[in-house]
A and B are shown apart, each in its own frame.
Chain A
Amino acid sequence: MSGSYGNEGEQSYLSRKGFLTWALTLDHKRIGLMYLGAVLFFFLIGGIMALLVRTELLTAEGDLFSGDNYNKIYTLHGAIMVFVFIIPSVPAALGNFLLPLMLGAKDVAFPRLNLASWYIYLLGSAFLIFSVLAGSIDTGWTFYTPYSIGPSDNGNAIIAATLGVFILGFSSILTGVNFISTIHKMRAPGMKWMDMPLMIWALYATSVIQVLATPVLAITLLLLVFERLLGFGIFNPALGGDPVLYQHFFWFYSHPAVYIMILPGFGIVSELLTVHSRKRIFGYKAIAFSSVAIAVIGFLVWGHHMFVSGQSELSSTIFSGITFAVAIPTAIKVFGWVATLYKGSIRFTTPMLYGLYFIFTFTIGGLTGLPLATLASDVHLHDTYYVVAHFHYVMMGGLVIAFIGGLHHWWPKMTGRMYNIKLAAFASVLVFIGFNLTFFSQFFLGSQGMPRRYHAYDRVSESLQGTYKFWHQMSTSGSYILAIGLFITLGYLLASLRKGGTRSPHNPWGGVSMEWLTATPPIEHNFEGQPVCTHGPYEFPEIDKSAQDKH
């Protein structure tokens, strides 16, 4: 990319001070940072809930909480993690910050809409928090009917929470609309589709899902609210409704939502592995198009959550068959990432470590999806800890590991500070070990038949109870290690912001995509003048161009 875009004229986007300069900002970078603060806060809350859940399960008896309270805690864990942490984590927080920078644009297409999304997100979160104060929901994050519309001591909490998620959905939709338009129309001169960083491709696929799937969740939850308030009957079997129909409605969004959660992770990892091994990505087109393919196929497979639900046998068969099709683009990605390392020059920086962990944990997450897609074995594994372990390997081992890696990768860009590198590497090892201990144990629990959402397992017969107890204790100890690792991470990241924290060099990792062209941290309007894209996002100086000619 041509020209120099140093820190000459304009000031860093962080330099203006005052509450209103943040609250009314139209700058995508500031909005991204505000999202980042919010999602990290909710990650903390959701994480504490997770630790409470794990602690309860140390013993077979339900001795720490009552059944009611346990149900509320795990529901809160799920709802917070899904709706206010994972879904906005990469698109709204990192994506908002990076998308225009990576495209060489001055801002997203609709900055005011972007700010509106942020406030809608806050409003939705406020509803969720209110639902906690109003008695808290105990329905599970899936709000399955008829339990969620039946008699409940927490009716108001359920209404508040569903409305909260409904509102959050619009935040997500508007962010998606904004990103799609930005990617289509605001790329820097010279940047063709195939010159976009893979992070952008991933965000593009994510946005498509956000726009096309989220509205169905919105209407579903609206119907649920009417169901509670007016007794509509659509999802209520006692009034002639169909609870399985609710599951179709719910998973039509919530399965693609899984890809809203993981696709950005793919994008981040593609960036991490290339930049820190100084090599072009292997199979750019395959990885880019597989993101879009996953997004589209992701719409066709929601019923694999319902193999034992009472849906028709024909449906189950179709859904199982299509589900396997998701494995192919996913495999293409994983193989591509591994091949990217081949003949590179690999730096074991913290972001790279997370990139490598991702390959391991996500591969396990992906492969354990296979027995769940297979009809016969899913019957045994459905709604057991095997599923819990599987989706935590995908969500936590996939997206969260990538998110933390991305945070370490772009932290210098966002804040201008460098964290303590040694501590970071140490913490990453703790996170890796803790994570695997926590969730690999749950595979054994699940295949042994331990159902999920159990508050106690003291009624289980002796023979299995011992097995369950052993694996639960392994899992719980792992979760503490994981928590320590994450707390250390939070500690050194915050410490780097203190006065006198280490300043980061302009381009610490030697990235060549457009976000590294501007100052660190970026200036208010991103670039001095208009940057022009003259090469692909992974054209590192280390690449042996002479070998290419012979190639």
Chain B
Amino acid sequence: MSSHDHAHPEYVQHHFHTAAEQRAASKFGMWAFIAQEILFFAGLFMAYAAFRFFYPETFVAAHEHLSWKMGGVNTIVLITSSLTMALAVRAAQTGNQKQLSIQLLLTIVFACCFLVVKYFEYSAKVHHCLLPGDYYGLPLKDDAGNFKLDAIGNRIFSDHCDIPKSGQMDAKSAGIFFGVYFIMTGMHGLHVLVGIGLLAWIWLRARKGHFHPKYFSPVEYVGLYWHLVDLIWIFLFPLLYLVK
């Protein structure tokens, strides 16, 4: 495509001069992308902090209904997947194709485990009607779509919603807590889902032998992304599941 006086391997795009220049630019770009991811989650952490401050009692009471065991298992799963990812990158660096493929597969398996546990966790919340905002306790509605209210103006929860009905949590702030919970873990879960897609793509490319010690940037960047997913969970876990 271009005529340079020095070697220009096919994996170097035409507008870069050398593989080193391409790698430096793309890695820098990846870090800039990670920076924006962090600020994206910053908004969610801010929402968490604000409402934890406004409604400390509800936050403590509501977190009791999250399963710290499931959260803990997921933490271990994610950290392990981070390890296998790091090993995959190392395998790419050293040109160990077999290890690269195995470690990437392991990472994908752990990522799927994470989502499976998440699925059970979410279904438990749905079962107890621990849902965000207007859906907390699945309040009854009249024909016109307005919420039915009891004598003192409170929403009437569906019969099977044992925890909301027990009234141990203030309905409004509990709705906010579960809103925060679902959007934080949901956004994180979405990142896991995207990560699985990226890992699968990288795995396919690795099997075709696209990567070698001179060119493994895509593996490394997917790795950086995956560690970021782990990083965010490291904070989500104690904030949502543990703090009393």
User: Are A249 and B29 touching (Cβ within 8 A)?
Assistant: no
| 20 residue pairs from A and B, CB less than 8 Å apart | A106-B14, A110-B25, A113-B29, A181-B25, A185-B25, A215-B37, A215-B43, A226-B183, A230-B133, A230-B134, A233-B176, A233-B179, A234-B47, A234-B179, A239-B175, A240-B170, A242-B50, A245-B50, A249-B43, A525-B2
* Complex alpha-carbon distance, A212 and B47, angstroms: 18
A69 within 8 A of B: no
Size of chain B's interface in residues, with CB distance under 8 A?
Answer: 42
> Which positions in B face A, CB cutoff 8 Å?
2, 13-17, 21, 24-26, 28-29, 32-33, 35-37, 39-44, 46-47, 50-51, 54-55, 132-135, 170, 172-173, 175-176, 179-180, 183, 187
User: Are A215 and B132 touching (Cβ within 8 A)?
Assistant: no
User: Are B15 and A106 touching (Cβ within 8 A)?
Assistant: yes
User: Are A185 and B24 touching (Cβ within 8 A)?
Assistant: yes
Residue of A nearest to B134 (CB): A231
User: Are B21 and A249 touching (Cβ within 8 A)?
Assistant: no
Minimum-distance CB pairs A-B, first 4:
A231-B134, A219-B43, A240-B172, A215-B40
A109 in contact with B26 given A181-B32, A234-B51 (CB within 8 Å): yes
Interface code A233-251, partner B: CB below 8 Å = 1, 0 otherwise?
1101001111001001100
Residue of B nearest to A239 (CB): B172
Which residue in A181, A239, A525 is a CB contact (below 8 Å) of B28? A181
* Complex alpha-carbon distance, A245 and B44, angstroms: 12
User: Are A216 and B29 touching (Cβ within 8 A)?
Assistant: no
Chain A positions 92-110 with a Cβ under 8 Å from a chain B Cβ:
105-107, 109-110
Which residue in A213, A222, A226 is a CB contact (below 8 Å) of B179? A226
User: Are B29 and A178 touching (Cβ within 8 A)?
Assistant: yes
Which B residues are CB-close (under 8 A) to A185?
21, 24-25, 28
A186 within 8 A of B: yes
Residue of B nearest to A248 (CB): B46
Output the least CB separation between B6 and chain A (Å): 11
Determine chain A's interface SS by DSSP, over half rule.
helix
Which A residues are CB-close (under 8 A) to B41?
219
Which residue in B15, B33, B176 is a CB contact (below 8 Å) of A241? B176
* Complex alpha-carbon distance, A223 and B33, angstroms: 21
Residue of A nearest to B17 (CB): A530
Which residue in B14, B28, B43, B179 is a CB contact (below 8 Å) of A184? B28
* Complex alpha-carbon distance, A215 and B32, angstroms: 12
* Complex alpha-carbon distance, A240 and B132, angstroms: 13
Given contacts A113-B29, A219-B43, 17 further A-B contacts (CB under 8 A): A106-B14, A109-B25, A110-B29, A177-B33, A178-B29, A181-B26, A185-B25, A216-B40, A223-B183, A226-B179, A231-B135, A234-B47, A240-B172, A240-B173, A242-B54, A248-B46, A249-B43
Which B residues are CB-close (under 8 A) to A219?
40-44, 187
Output the least CB separation between A62 and chain B (Å): 32
User: Are A234 and B180 touching (Cβ within 8 A)?
Assistant: yes
Most buried by B among A110, A185, A525: A185
A230 in contact with B25 given A215-B43, A530-B17 (CB within 8 Å): no
Most buried by A among B39, B40, B187: B39
A254 within 8 A of B: no
Residue of A nearest to B45 (CB): A219
Output the least CB separation between B29 and chain A (Å): 4
Which B residues are CB-close (under 8 A) to A242?
50, 54
User: Are B15 and A232 touching (Cβ within 8 A)?
Assistant: no
Which A residues are CB-close (under 8 A) to B46?
248-249
Which B residues are CB-close (under 8 A) to A232?
132-133, 175-176, 179, 183
Size of chain A's interface in residues, with CB distance under 8 A?
Answer: 45
Most buried by B among A113, A182, A233, A525: A233
How many A-B contacts are there with CB distance less than 8 Å? Answer: 129
* Complex alpha-carbon distance, A182 and B16, angstroms: 11
Which residue in B32, B42, B47 is a CB contact (below 8 Å) of A177? B32
* Complex alpha-carbon distance, A280 and B216, angstroms: 45
Residue of B nearest to A111 (CB): B15
Output the least CB separation between B46 and chain A (Å): 7
Output the least CB separation between A522 and chain B (Å): 14
Residue of B nearest to A236 (CB): B133
Output the least CB separation between B232 and chain A (Å): 13
A79 within 8 A of B: no
Which A residues are CB-close (under 8 A) to B28?
180-181, 184-185
Output the least CB separation between A97 and chain B (Å): 15
A320 within 8 A of B: no
* Complex alpha-carbon distance, A177 and B14, angstroms: 20
Residue of A nearest to B14 (CB): A106
Residue of B nearest to A9 (CB): B3
User: Are B15 and A105 touching (Cβ within 8 A)?
Assistant: yes
* Complex alpha-carbon distance, A220 and B50, angstroms: 14
A176 within 8 A of B: yes
A230 in contact with B50 given A218-B40, A240-B176 (CB within 8 Å): no
* Complex alpha-carbon distance, A211 and B44, angstroms: 17
A239 in contact with B176 given A177-B33, A230-B132 (CB within 8 Å): yes
Which B residues are CB-close (under 8 A) to A211?
32, 35-36
* Complex alpha-carbon distance, A232 and B2, angstroms: 54
A214 within 8 A of B: yes
Which residue in B25, B32, B50, B183 is a CB contact (below 8 Å) of A176? B32
Output the least CB separation between B173 and chain A (Å): 5
* Complex alpha-carbon distance, A525 and B26, angstroms: 20
Which A residues are CB-close (under 8 A) to B134?
230-231, 233, 239
* Complex alpha-carbon distance, A281 and B21, angstroms: 31
* Complex alpha-carbon distance, A45 and B170, angstroms: 48
Output the least CB separation between B8 and chain A (Å): 12
* Complex alpha-carbon distance, A216 and B44, angstroms: 9
A173 within 8 A of B: yes
Which A residues are CB-close (under 8 A) to B43?
215-216, 218-220, 223, 249
* Complex alpha-carbon distance, A232 and B133, angstroms: 4
Which A residues are CB-close (under 8 A) to B55?
240
User: Are B183 and A109 touching (Cβ within 8 A)?
Assistant: no
* Complex alpha-carbon distance, A186 and B51, angstroms: 45
* Complex alpha-carbon distance, A110 and B217, angstroms: 14
User: Are B15 and A107 touching (Cβ within 8 A)?
Assistant: yes
Which B residues are CB-close (under 8 A) to A525?
2, 14-15
* Complex alpha-carbon distance, A155 and B101, angstroms: 49
Residue of B nearest to A530 (CB): B17
* Complex alpha-carbon distance, A231 and B133, angstroms: 5
Which A residues are CB-close (under 8 A) to B51?
234
Residue of B nearest to A231 (CB): B134
Which residue in A214, A220, A222, A230 is a CB contact (below 8 Å) of B36? A214
Which B residues are CB-close (under 8 A) to A216?
39-40, 42-43
Chain A positions 175-234 with a Cβ under 8 Å from a chain B Cβ:
176-178, 180-182, 184-186, 211-216, 218-220, 222-223, 226-227, 230-234
A182 in contact with B32 given A230-B132, A239-B133, A240-B176 (CB within 8 Å): no
Which A residues are CB-close (under 8 A) to B26?
109-110, 181
Output the least CB separation between A222 and chain B (Å): 8
Which A residues are CB-close (under 8 A) to B36?
173, 177, 211-212, 214-215
